Amino acid sequence: MTDRYCVFGHPIGHSKSPAIHAAFAEQTGEAIEYTAIEAPLDDFAGAWRDFVAAGGRGANVTVPFKEEAYRLCDELTPRARRAGAVNTLLLMADGGIRGDTTDGAGLVGDLERHGVALAGARVLVLGAGGAVRGVLEPLLEAGPASLHIANRTAAKARALGEDFADLGRVSGSGFDAVEGPFEVVINGTSASLAGDLPPLPDALFAPGATAYDMMYGAEPTVFLRWAQARGARGIDGLGMLVGQAAESFHLWRGKRPDVTPVLEALRRSL
């Protein structure tokens, strides 16, 4: 019997995850079925139970259910507990649910593939929501000289910085108090989805800096266009998407797929 996996979201029709995991399965010789399921906004837990009853073994979870998935778990990895959100569910042998978050590993792995040095770098992260919270621990484990969180609501950025201050030199502020330059700037806001840009100073980038947007598209996002016009190298979040999926696949199947050919094929399809 083929093992079943899925991605839960609302909406979910746009998801690239089924194509990514189908490619991973073919590459590794694993017999799995992976589908996209639009869970009801008011009953994510019910959608998970129905999936398990139909033979589901594990799932990815995207917006807006990552916090609900966290609360559903019987067991959490340390990084998921720290993030307060889960994007990967695994059905354990005893029927319990194990939760993990692979977004941060996907981000750091993509930065490494592009040759971006985080160790000793001054890093700026834009946004203070769940997407940012989920990547802070892996970023700080890479050993930056400092990491600053900037958000429209300054108090939220400062509170998030305090939550992770034990892992390194972390601070937070509103967008209006950001002072560069930075070697790495990561946009973790959803502004790119609406074609918007956080209010940022022009003098943000150090020479040779990298700008990374967690969003992606066929064309550079408005944030990446803005950053490139100011001399930064721009990288979108497609590699993060494929990288976090590879981490989930490894958790479920014990095999680590090669990200590069899947990422290249996905890029061509945009």
Q: Are the C-beta atoms of 158 and 170 separated by less than 8 Å? A: no
Residues near 175 by beta carbon (within 8 Å), at least 6 away in sequence: 126, 150, 151, 152, 198, 199, 200
246 has binding-site annotation:
no
Q: Are strands 170-174 and 97-100 parallel, antiparallel or unpaired?
A: unpaired
150 φ, ψ (degrees, to nearest 5):
-120, 135
List Cα–Cα distances, 193 to 19, 131, 196, 220, in angstroms: 22, 14, 7, 12
Distance CA 36, CA 196 (A): 28
CA–CA dist 81, 179 (Å, integer): 31
Q: Is 101 annotated as a binding residue?
A: no
127 is in an annotated binding site: yes
Q: Is 154 annotated as a binding residue?
A: yes
62 is in an annotated binding site: yes
**Spatial CA neighbour of 174 closest among 186, 160, 190:** 160
Q: Which of 36, 56, 60, 66 is catalytic?
A: 66
Q: Is 103 annotated as a binding residue?
A: yes
**66 catalytically annotated:** yes
Within 13 Å, how many C-alpha atoms sit on residue 14's CB side? Answer: 7
Taking 3-state DSSP, the helix, strand and coil percentages for the chain, each rounded to the nearest 5, stand at: 40, 25, 35
Residue 216 is assigned to a ligand binding site? yes
Residue 15 in marked binding region: yes
Nearest to 14 by CA among 239, 244, 193: 193
- Known binder of ligand: residue 188? no
Q: Is 172 annotated as a binding residue?
A: no
Would you put residue 208 in left (φ > 0), alpha (ψ -120 to 50) or beta? left
Answer yes or no: is 152 a known binding residue.
yes
- 248 assigned to a ligand binding site: no
Q: Look-up: residue for tokens 């919270």? A: 133
156 is in an annotated binding site: yes
User: Is 260 annotated to bind ligand?
Assistant: no
255 marked ligand binding residue: no
Annotated binding site for shikimate: 15-17, 62, 87, 103, 216, 244
Annotated binding site: 15-17, 62, 87, 103, 127-131, 151-156, 214, 216, 237, 244
Catalytic residues: 66
Annotated binding site for NADP(+): 127-131, 151-156, 214, 237
